[in-house]
Chains A and B, each alone.
Chain A
Amino acid sequence: MFTAERVADKKDWLSGRDHDWEMIIGLEVHAQVASNAKLFSGAATEYGAEPNTQVSLVDAAMPGMLPVVNEFCIEQAVRTGLGLNAEINKYSRFDRKNYFYPDLPQGYQISQFEFPIVGEGEIEIEPEGGEPVSVGIERLHLEQDAGKSIHDLSPDDTFVDLNRSGVCLMEIVSKPDMRSPEEASAYVEKLRAIVRSLGTCDGDMEKGNLRADVNVSVRKPGGELGTRCEIKNVNSMRFIRQAINYEARRQIDILESGGEIDQETRLFDNAKGETRTMRSKEDAHDYRYFPDPDLLPIKITDDFIAKIKANLPELPDARKARFIESYGIPAYDAGILTASKKKAEFYETLAKGRDAKIAANWMMGDLFGALNKAGIELEDSPVDAVALGGLLDRIADKTISGKIAKQVFEKMFAGEGSADDIIEKDGLKQVTDMGAIEKLVDDVIAANPDQAAKVAENPKSMGWFVGQVMKASQGKANPQAVNEILRKKLGV
């Protein structure tokens, strides 16, 4: 259901010499299955191990070695397929994709060509500043990753690390349904949120556990489709947007100067923000796909699918709807708080028995701000949901003001202890003792008699007194009580 007829929002059009252009974008996302063992061997998959220490005889393609499929990986593919609202194919098969390269020990990659394990599906994305868009999934198939060639250790030699060789990847192919870089990155965000909540892939783009091949073409808005180029292995949301922008502009420049687009595979240079030719269509391999005779076809039963379905966690879309419904928070907030399973769990712990809106504001504002600034992931946050909840409780029971709470939070984030510890230690407890506040008010009025006299004429100037009293209390006075007493004393 390629929605070629959908024309990009006008805001996403690119201006041209004679007319505007729109981008047609499709993505192939490679998501590493979160499995401790490889797809066809028992070797470990841990990231960052010493080179060539996680290689079995099968991964190194020693003579006579045979692949045996890791059933856990099959299950993860089915889970992911269900999460993408996609058809699960009861029959699928592994094929060999033949080509020579030193980091491909077998001389072929075991992949799924003709019969993928997951068929068509669909997900909703919410691009920043745009309307929700539905993106079609063409297929999801399983394949082995190759090893890694390292060219920069020696001027003459290439080194090969086979730790990744045989690691299980899910290749998720979208339909060419995206029309702007923002839609493309929102799509990857959404995929990442889905696989993370399913636990089928950790979504870590820095480690290369989730990476995208981006297909881009341009056309006159609503016109005939153009020739596409594929940009390989783009590994961050920002790079995806950059690569698309660069590539679309490059294609427009060629077309506007009377040229034609060569269908080719291109590389994205992170440093320069450019794409460049990797290989042209003429150089494309003939992969000589054929069914792998070492492996039997995968046959999946309804029962197997039903069992997985029954244990499926709540997915981001469903969770978002529930957050809006049961916490009464805006769709925007719910979207952010359900972007990952970790965020959602954090929020639910935090909001339980508390003001849901205040909880959302604190999490998205102070906490995310601090984490962002410190470059820390939520799972490593020095302030967990229970601790942050402790702080919100002190605001709620008026032990401290919202303003003081921000100071307390900073100290909590710096690892100085719980909210209660810090409040106690720093003596930040809000003063609610009316007598004490009255004394402070009297002192301030006494010190500023002229100002006090003017308040009756200009009630707004009472704010100045509020500030002075708060200052005198080192922020600890209950602001409501201060206002009340000041109003009474100054006759407002």
Chain B
Amino acid sequence: MTDFTNLTLEGALAGLKAKDFTSLEITEAHIKACEDASELNAFITTDYDNARAAAKASDEKLAKGDGGLLEGAPLGVKDLFCTEGVRTTAGSKILGDFTPQYESTVTSNMKRDGMVMLGKLNLDEFAMGSANETSYFGPVINPWKVDDNLVPGGSSGGSASAVAARICLGATATDTGGSIRQPASFTGTVGIKPTYGRCSRWGVVAFASSLDQAGPITRTVKDSAIMLQSMAGYDPKDSTSINEALPDFMAACDKGVKGLKIGIPKEYTMDGMPSDIEELWQQGIKWLEEAGAEIVHVSLPHTKYALPAYYIVAPAEASSNLARYDGMRYGNRVAGEDLNDTYERTRADGFGKEVRRRIMIGTYVLSAGYYDAYYLRAQKVRARIAQDFKNAWEKCDALLAPTCPSAAFPVGRPVNDPVQMYLNDIFTVTANLAGLPAMSVPASLDKDGLPLGLQIIGRALDEETVFAAGAALEKAADFKAEPEKWWSA
């Protein structure tokens, strides 16, 4: 019997089409796997009844030879996407039992294409965090383990953990500063953040509007291409959505890198970065070279300003985006003496520490007298960073860099200095600031046996090259390692 949970999305879809098995069969297998893996705390809300119903509906379509791109595939959805009739929390207490009456554009595209949604995946509160430890619903555990429990990264920790643990075939995620790529790197999975504007933000709880972008986390590059093909597309309900036809992402995976120029940005390194990561990067260069790419060395001189700029722009937008959680229309409310007291109690009780910290930072940098020094300057830095990339594209077609400066670290590691945590994003925020597509591909294990990813960054709207280079890396790395299944009940 096929181990349904070990299928790739691509393999599952082919098997469903060939009627080797039914959606209900693989859905039941995944539900069982989800139940067994409750210790990972990957889901905030499961929705098995609807999943079974959706699977049956898919089977009917498949039986008639119909069905969409994702027909019958059991997938997970990060709990930042609003889902009609299914509680949506954003990992926060403040939303209470908020159950949307609407479906985000991305998940609605996926439902149109036949997704079977298993449930809503855990995340850092309002997607703010790099370890999935800020969730009101508790930390997510990485299926990869060395002695202690490890974090899966964040903010899409639930998505990454679930995909790595093989409890769903793929999952949606979002990336504001690295929230898809860093967890993918920490869990040995593939994650792509497409060009800003490829996936509609309509119905996705906003963190930082100018940076937020949805994308998939999967086990293979091809699987990511399949999911993104369904998730992406122009949406007139999002003014920042890009009105361009979607390329064939799946076909792009087979293009190869022959003749491509791959740039190596010299600034993507930092003090104290483990030597494994530096070595892996060199290895990645070799792999791509051997696959026929030309390696060129480039400089992105403003990279060092990216993280500070990011930690001004993102909290600034967040401070305003999160103002709507005021206890007046939906979500939790803590009644106070008067209106201001009610606001204060509601928000103090409803938001966790990290969210409160970022709201405070954001409020500060936008205040009268500080706006020019912080927000405006950060936006100028952002323009410089975008220009750095434009200059690089004169010399190369895509960039290769590490995804993160470290592998997964233990859950509950004391975080006295939030800035230490923010450093996780150092190699990923640049793509968000410039709106570029970027992918993390699992490439090797470090000396402790933990996965490490490499990152491909491409030109705006050129996900095809990112998929081509990502697939070439995947092939060369031949990463087959799986976490040992320690959690099974």
Q: Which residues of A contact B (CB under 8 A)?
A: 57, 60-69, 96, 98, 100, 102, 105-108, 160, 286, 288-290, 293-296
Chain B residue numbers with a CB within 8 Å of A286 are 367-368
A62 to B90, CA, bound (A): 13
Closest to B330 in A: A62
* B98→A294 contact, CB < 8 A: no
With known contacts A57-B102, A286-B367, A293-B317, A64–B323 Cβ distance under 8 A: no
Any A CB within 8 A of the CB of B95: yes
Which of the listed residues A63, A98, A107 has the most CB atoms from chain B within 10 Å of its own CB?
A: A63
CB contact between A61 and one of B90, B239, B329 (< 8 Å): that residue:
B329
* B320→A288 contact, CB < 8 A: yes
Chain A residue numbers with a CB within 8 Å of B209 are 293-294
User: Which residues of chain B in 346-394 are interfacial with respect to chain A, using CB atoms and an 8 Å cutoff?
Assistant: 363, 366-368, 371, 375
A293 to B319, CA, bound (A): 13
A57 to B81, CA, bound (A): 15
User: Chain B: interface residue count, which band?
Assistant: 35 or more
* Closest Cβ–Cβ distance, residue B425 to chain A (whole Å): 19
Chain B residue numbers with a CB within 8 Å of A107 are 320, 322-324, 326
Chain A residue numbers with a CB within 8 Å of B343 are 100
Any A CB within 8 A of the CB of B412: no
Chain B residue numbers with a CB within 8 Å of A69 are 239
CB contact between A98 and one of B88, B238, B320, B330 (< 8 Å): that residue:
B320
* A64→B204 contact, CB < 8 A: yes
A65 to B102, CA, bound (A): 10
A57 to B103, CA, bound (A): 12
Any A CB within 8 A of the CB of B339: yes
With known contacts A108-B320, A290-B375, A66–B328 Cβ distance under 8 A: no
Any A CB within 8 A of the CB of B201: yes
* B324→A105 contact, CB < 8 A: yes
Chain B residue numbers with a CB within 8 Å of A288 are 319-320, 363, 366-368, 371
* Closest Cβ–Cβ distance, residue B351 to chain A (whole Å): 13
A68 to B363, CA, bound (A): 25
A10 to B368, CA, bound (A): 42
Chain A residue numbers with a CB within 8 Å of B238 are 66, 68
The 6 closest A-B pairs by CB, nearest first: A107-B323, A288-B366, A293-B209, A293-B210, A61-B324, A64-B203
Secondary structure at the B interface, as helix, strand, loop or mixed, is loop
Chain B residue numbers with a CB within 8 Å of A62 are 82, 100, 102, 329-330
* A68→B239 contact, CB < 8 A: yes
* A96→B320 contact, CB < 8 A: yes
A108 to B322, CA, bound (A): 10
Any A CB within 8 A of the CB of B240: yes
Chain A residue numbers with a CB within 8 Å of B90 are 63
A277 to B410, CA, bound (A): 57
* A64→B202 contact, CB < 8 A: yes
* B323→A98 contact, CB < 8 A: yes
In the complex, besides A64-B81, A107-B320, A293-B240, 19 extra interface pairs with C-beta distance below 8 angstroms are: A60-B329, A62-B100, A62-B330, A63-B205, A64-B204, A65-B203, A96-B320, A98-B366, A102-B328, A107-B322, A107-B326, A160-B328, A289-B366, A290-B316, A290-B317, A290-B371, A294-B206, A294-B239, A295-B239
A103 to B328, CA, bound (A): 9
Closest to A292 in B: B209
Any A CB within 8 A of the CB of B236: yes
Closest to B343 in A: A100
A17 to B70, CA, bound (A): 84
Chain A residue numbers with a CB within 8 Å of B367 are 286, 288
Any A CB within 8 A of the CB of B237: yes
A98 to B236, CA, bound (A): 26
Any A CB within 8 A of the CB of B229: no
A102 to B326, CA, bound (A): 8
18 contacts between A and B (CB under 8 A): A63-B100, A64-B82, A64-B204, A64-B205, A68-B237, A102-B328, A105-B328, A106-B323, A288-B319, A288-B320, A288-B371, A290-B316, A290-B320, A290-B371, A293-B209, A295-B239, A296-B239, A296-B240
* A65→B328 contact, CB < 8 A: no
User: Which residues of chain B in 304-319 are interfacial with respect to chain A, using CB atoms and an 8 Å cutoff?
Assistant: 316-317, 319
Closest to B379 in A: A291
Chain A residue numbers with a CB within 8 Å of B371 are 288-290
* A64→B324 contact, CB < 8 A: no
A160 to B324, CA, bound (A): 15
Any A CB within 8 A of the CB of B224: no
* Closest Cβ–Cβ distance, residue B399 to chain A (whole Å): 25
* Closest Cβ–Cβ distance, residue B370 to chain A (whole Å): 10
CB contact between A63 and one of B239, B240, B324 (< 8 Å): that residue:
B324
* Closest Cβ–Cβ distance, residue B235 to chain A (whole Å): 9
Any A CB within 8 A of the CB of B104: yes
User: Which residues of chain B in 184-207 are interfacial with respect to chain A, using CB atoms and an 8 Å cutoff?
Assistant: 201-206
* A66→B100 contact, CB < 8 A: no
Chain B residue numbers with a CB within 8 Å of A96 are 320
* Closest Cβ–Cβ distance, residue A298 to chain B (whole Å): 11
* B320→A64 contact, CB < 8 A: no
Which of the listed residues A288, A289, A294, A295 has the most CB atoms from chain B within 10 Å of its own CB?
A: A288
Chain A residue numbers with a CB within 8 Å of B102 are 57, 62
A196 to B326, CA, bound (A): 39
* Closest Cβ–Cβ distance, residue A403 to chain B (whole Å): 66
A93 to B203, CA, bound (A): 24
* A64→B366 contact, CB < 8 A: no
* Closest Cβ–Cβ distance, residue A144 to chain B (whole Å): 14
A102 to B339, CA, bound (A): 9
A60 to B202, CA, bound (A): 15
Closest to B322 in A: A107
Chain A residue numbers with a CB within 8 Å of B328 are 102, 105, 160
Closest to A99 in B: B323
The contact string, 1 if C-beta is below 8 Å from chain A, for chain B 59-97, is: 000000000000000000000011000001010000100
* Closest Cβ–Cβ distance, residue A35 to chain B (whole Å): 18
Chain B residue numbers with a CB within 8 Å of A67 are 239
* Closest Cβ–Cβ distance, residue A69 to chain B (whole Å): 7
Closest to B212 in A: A293
With known contacts A63-B95, A64-B202, A69-B239, A290–B324 Cβ distance under 8 A: no
With known contacts A106-B323, A108-B323, A66–B202 Cβ distance under 8 A: yes
A108 to B319, CA, bound (A): 11
Closest to A64 in B: B203
Which of the listed residues A96, A100, A293 has the most CB atoms from chain B within 10 Å of its own CB?
A: A293
* Closest Cβ–Cβ distance, residue A461 to chain B (whole Å): 82
A377 to B339, CA, bound (A): 42
Closest to B339 in A: A102
With known contacts A66-B239, A68-B236, A290–B202 Cβ distance under 8 A: no
A57 to B201, CA, bound (A): 15
* A100→B316 contact, CB < 8 A: no
Closest to B88 in A: A63
A295 to B320, CA, bound (A): 14
* A66→B201 contact, CB < 8 A: yes
A107 to B208, CA, bound (A): 15
A66 to B209, CA, bound (A): 10
Closest to A288 in B: B366
Chain A residue numbers with a CB within 8 Å of B208 are 293
Chain B residue numbers with a CB within 8 Å of A108 are 320, 323
Chain B residue numbers with a CB within 8 Å of A100 are 323, 326, 343
Chain A residue numbers with a CB within 8 Å of B240 are 293-294, 296
Closest to B95 in A: A63
* Closest Cβ–Cβ distance, residue B11 to chain A (whole Å): 33
Closest to B327 in A: A102
Chain A residue numbers with a CB within 8 Å of B375 are 290
